[in-house]
Amino acid sequence: MKKISRKTLALLAALLLLMALPVGGTVAFLMDRTGMMTNTFTPVEVDTVIIENVAKGEKTSIKVQNPEAANHIDAYVRVVVVGNWVDADGNIVHPWTLDSYNTASWTKDGQFYYYNQVLKVGQTTDNLLTGSGIREADLTKPKGADHLVVTVVHQSIQADGWPAEVDSAKEAFAAAQ
């Protein structure tokens, strides 16, 4: 076995030291400069509410509001209006359908009425109803019916974050399914 001279050992030690210094210096620099990282995610809410004006058996207004709140976001909105003529005991006698609605602001597709605009935070939709609204006195009451029951259900979905081809409430709800 060949002996390694002291000169060779010193040269190897010097080379190792020269290689270790930049690596150690870089690690020390990064550790000194990079502090603790914290990712903070703030969830958003789509929390719309129905605002109806009802007086003396007349529903004059159906609107949806996107209330002002710190974590609320702009939304697409759709509404379902379910109507039934019921007897004195509350049994359904005949279904009723909303035939006349605000076509300038709403689009009907199947059972849904889609609001034609993005509902911004702090805003309220235009009235879904037209004219004087739903007045039982103006409607033909089916045989055996005592009164009309109208239930309004709404859904909202965030308007931000959709691909470019999604630019309406109808398209957003279809894409979400």
Residue 168 and residue 142 share a domain: yes
Examine the domain organization and report whether 70 and 30 are in the same domain: no
Do 24 and 56 reside in the same domain of the chain? no
List, in order, residues 6 or more apart from 148 with CB less than 8 Å away. Answer: 83, 84, 85, 86, 96, 134, 136, 139, 141
**Could you tell me if 55 and 32 lie in one domain?**
no
Instruction: Kindly state whether residue 44 falls inside one of the protein's structural domains.
Output: no
In a domain, 42, yes or no: no
pLDDT of 8 higher than 90: no
**Within-domain flag for 5:** yes
Confirm if 66 and 74 have CB atoms less than 8 A apart: yes
pLDDT in tens, 9-66: 788 888 887 777 777 777 777 766 656 778 877 788 889 999 999 988 789 999 999 9
- Is position 43 within any domain? no
Q: Which residue has the higher pLDDT, 81 or 70?
A: 81
Residues 89 and 142 in one domain: yes
pLDDT number for residue 33: 60
pLDDT in tens, 102-156: 999 999 999 999 999 999 999 999 999 998 899 888 889 999 999 999 999 999 9
N-to-C CA span, the chain: 77
Instruction: Determine the pLDDT at residue 42.
Output: 78
User: Cα separation of 173 and 177, whole Å?
Assistant: 7
Same domain as 57, residue 32 = no
Whether residues 104 and 164 share a domain: the answer is yes
* Tokens encoding 66: 């996107």
In terms of domains, do 170 and 150 share one?
yes
Q: φ, ψ for residue 31 (rounded to 5)?
A: -70, -35
Give me the number of domains the chain comprises: 2
Question: What's the Cα-to-Cα distance from 135 to each of 113, 138, 154, rounded to whole Å?
Answer: 20, 5, 21
Q: What is the pTM of this model?
A: 0.75
Whether 161 maps to a domain, the answer reads yes
93 and 122 belong to one structural domain: yes
The SS3 of residue 13 is: helix
* pLDDT score, position 18: 78
Enclosing domain of residue 3: 1-37
